[in-house]
A and B are shown apart, each in its own frame.
Chain A
Amino acid sequence: MSYEELSHTADVKIRARAPTLDALFGEAFQALMQVMYGEDRGGGTSRTLDINAPDLESLICDFLSEALYVSEVDGLVFRQADVHLDGMQLYAILDGEPFDPARHKGTEVKGISYSGMSIQRDAKGYMLDILFDV
């Protein structure tokens, strides 16, 4: 399981890999939090998300958009997400801590983009390319 930042001129493009779709969504979630708040993220406070969408691309876009919303409005910085997919139904438990400006340093993400988004399957599992509009 891993993710990396690809070169993109205006925004932040992420490539994530994981053996399962559940884990892939979890990786994308961690990448989002990393961009917004940096590496130093603790746990202890949880939130749950329950989302469905017509297709996989919409599902990841809606999941990350919802995570972004909850993080901003509840003032929470999440360490990780435990994601379960059942078809196009997603259930996730997010684990995080209250925002602390002294420790959480990153860039605001304005939105999750369909631009250049792809989810591919190969022998090793899944690979996701996704763009965060910053």
Chain B
Amino acid sequence: MPEGVIRAGPDEWEIPVGYVPGMRVPGKFFLSDALAAILEPGAVQQLANVATLPGIVRYSLGMPDLHWGYGFPIGGVAAFSLDEGVISPGGVGFDINCGVRLFMTPLVRSDIKKPRELLDSLYHAVPTGVGAKSSAKLTPAALSAMMEKGARWAVAAGYGLERDLVRCEEGGAMKQADIRAVSAKARARGIPQGGTLGSGNHFLELQEVSEIYDEAAAAAFGLVKGRVCCMIHCGSRGLGHQVCTDHLKVIEEATKKYHIPLPDRQLACAPAGSPEGTAYFGAMAAAANYAWANRQMILHAARREFVRMSGIEYESMPLVYDVAHNVAKIEEHTVEGHRARLLVHRKGATRSFGPGAPDLPGDLDAIGQPVIIPGSMGTSSYVLKGTATAMERTFGSTCHGSGRVMSRSQAKKKLSGKEVSDRLLSQGIIVRAPNEAAIADEAPEVYKPSSEVVQVVHDAGLSTLVARLSPIGVIKG
């Protein structure tokens, strides 16, 4: 652990004010000793840098999957006052509303007689990888509606069920979307990519509910041991990347205009209420809505393949939940005994709203929201539930995944895609990808163990374990 960082509990660390000049609040992060041993020092520096930003409230927070990112660390959470605080594209990332959704099927593993054929059919139904184009022909008007209404647009257009919207963070759409702030370039990238998975760490995975830790929550979420489910991980595609690129330029200028001193150029930010900050927030919300619609379209395509290949009913595949893990939102939290509306940035962090929090589906009000944590390829994923502790300590936030430990260049040198897919196959896991390099890039050993990350948030009470999901087959983008 870098010098100056203080241990504040078994899995808890504090970066005192003064660690870097200009810190307004301390930094706090959650790591076990095993995870602390592989922490990049740069991530601690970044957490401390975020603490210098105007209007930051209480702490600059890091989740146990903390690692070095663009300006803000990945696994970072920072809340800002709406009056005195800032908004920063670096606190959200290029892939706006990258997120995860999970749906159940009525099948058990032995019902799937031909898993490879099912995976192949899903692979062909969901455009995957670099350059993949959507089969949906979006008109400019449809794209606008998609950005304004998110998953609501998708359901109204026939991509799913009304009930899906209830089981989706924000009901699948942020109302602050301002499509006027989305450039023609971003739109041009968005038109051909509706319903596409993308590449890199994005995936669609067939899984089995292999262990239940919390019977009551599992029942409320619709998780049944032994049942097959399907997880979709992707974001706002080229449209969201372009929104980030476009607005970074504007926000860079705004940083100078409003005389905001920064320790790092990548923390470029603008006052939350400034024209530049408001424009970014509106465009970011529009891109977030595109991402929710995108995941809804993929859900629809996947359900149709299950219907075709397994003969089950479309309506028999309920959505468990959909979470965003790269987004900024206006939320109400209690700070020093007072309720305050804050601009919460989560970058590689998941909302973890506990019982009684706003925006929960009625039937989950007493339980807390489902928190979906994808594992790396070939390792378990987890469902957890949001907690009151997260509401009190981390602005209702928890981890988002496992985090890389090996670079792509190292992975390619050390591993071949064929070796990795053969090894996974020997464990009963089928891998489908556009090419072999994409498989080596995302091999299980390039990530921190997801079980370790999840155990830390469980022990700290930032979200608690509900179920473990084991992979059956994975489509890598």
A109 to chain B, nearest CB (A): 8
Instruction: Determine if B129 is an interface residue (Cβ-Cβ < 8 Å).
Output: yes
Task: Please report the C-alpha to C-alpha distance between residue A4 and residue B408 in the assembled complex, in whole angstroms.
Answer: 13
Contact A110 B94 (CB under 8 A): yes
Cα A73 to Cα B193 with chains together (Å): 10
CB of B35 within 8 A of chain A? Answer: no
User: How distant is B294 from chain A, measured CB to nearest CB, in Å?
Assistant: 14
- CB contacts under 8 Å to B, within A83-134, are 99, 101, 104-108, 110-115, 133-134
- How many cross-chain pairs have Cβ atoms below 8 Å apart between A and B? 89
Taking CB atoms and an 8 Å cut-off, the chain B residues in 45-64 that contact chain A are none
Considering only residues 429-447 of chain B, those with a C-beta below 8 Å from chain A are 434-435, 437-438, 441
* Contact status of A69 and B130, CB under 8 A, knowing A10-B74, A105-B435: no
Taking CB atoms, residues of chain B closer than 8 Å to A5 are 409
A115-B189 in contact (CB<8A) = no
Interface size class of A (residues with CB under 8 A): 20 to 34
Given A10-B69, A115-B71, A133-B94, A107–B408 Cβ distance below 8 Å? yes
**Contact flag A114-B265 (CB < 8 Å), given A9-B404, A9-B406, A36-B130:** yes
B441 touches A107 (CB 8 A): yes
Please report which residues of chain A, range 49-106, place their CB below 8 angstroms from some CB of chain B when the two chains form the complex.
58, 62, 65, 69, 72-73, 75, 99, 101, 104-106
Task: Please name all residues of chain B whose beta carbon is closer than 8 Å to the beta carbon of A9 when the two chains form the complex.
Answer: 40, 67-68, 404-407
Q: A8-B407, A9-B67, A9-B407 are in contact. Are A107 and B189 (CB under 8 A)?
A: no
Measured as residues with beta carbon below 8 angstroms from the partner, the interface class of chain B is 35 or more
Contact at B189–A72, with CB atoms within 8 Å? yes
Kindly specify which of B220-228, B236-244, B369-377, B462-470 makes contact with the partner chain: B236-244
Residues of the A chain whose Cβ atoms lie less than 8 Å from the Cβ of B93: 133
Smallest CB gap from A131: residue in B: B70
Smallest CB-CB separation from A10: which chain B residue?
B404
Which residues of the partner chain A approach B441 to less than 8 Å between Cβ atoms?
107
B71 with A108: CB separation less than 8 A: no
Using an 8 Å CB-CB cutoff, how does the interface string of A1-15 with B read, 1 for contact, 0 for none?
A: 000011111101000
The residue that B130 contacts in the complex, of A12, A62, A106, with Cβ under 8 A, is A106
In Å, the complex CA distance between A73 and B239 comes to 11
Whether, in the assembled complex, A37 has its beta carbon less than 8 Å from a beta carbon of chain B, the answer is yes
Which residues on B sit within 8 Å (CB–CB) of A10? 67-69, 74, 403-404, 407
Residue numbers in B under 8 Å from A133 (CB-CB): 70, 93-94
B131 is an interface residue with CB less than 8 A from chain A: yes
Q: Does B266 interact with chain A (Cβ within 8 Å)?
A: yes
On whether the beta carbons of A37 and B71 are closer than 8 Å, the reply is: no
Q: Could you tell me which B residues sit within 8 Å of A by CB distance?
A: 40, 67-71, 74, 93-95, 129-132, 185, 188-189, 198-200, 238, 241-242, 244-245, 249, 252, 265-266, 403-410, 434-435, 437-438, 441, 477
Given contacts A101-B132, A133-B94, 9 further A-B contacts (CB under 8 A): A5-B409, A7-B409, A10-B67, A104-B131, A108-B477, A110-B95, A110-B200, A112-B245, A113-B70
> A interface vs B, CB < 8 Å?
5-10, 12, 36-38, 58, 62, 65, 69, 72-73, 75, 99, 101, 104-108, 110-115, 133-134
